[in-house]
Amino acid sequence: MTPGPFLPDWNFHLLQQLFRLLPHNLQRDSLADFLTTNALVSTWIYAAVFYVYWSIEDSRRVWRRAHLLEVFVAFWLAMLASVVFRPWIAWPAPNLMPRFQMLYPRYFWNEGNSNCFPSHSTLIYLIVAAGFWPFKRRLSAVLILWVLAAISLPRVYVGGHYPVDVLAAILLAVVALWTARHICANPRVSGLLMQASSMGLKIEWLLFLWLFELGDGFRSSYSIATYLARATRNIWH
The model's pLDDT over 67-124, given as tens digits with 9 standing for 90+, comes to 888 999 999 999 999 888 877 888 999 999 999 999 999 999 988 888 899 999 999 9
Domain ranges of the chain: 69-182
Secondary structure in 3-state letters for 26-55 = HHHHHHHHHHHHCHHHCCHHHHHHHHHHHH
Question: In this predicted model, what pLDDT tens digit does every residue of 206-228 receive, in sequence order?
Answer: 888 888 888 887 776 666 655 55
Query: What pLDDT score was predicted for residue 110?
Result: 86
Quick: pLDDT tens for 131-165.
999 888 999 999 999 999 999 999 999 999 999 99
Q: How far is CA 85 from CA 88, 157, 166, in A?
A: 5, 25, 16
CA 229 and chain centroid, separation: 21
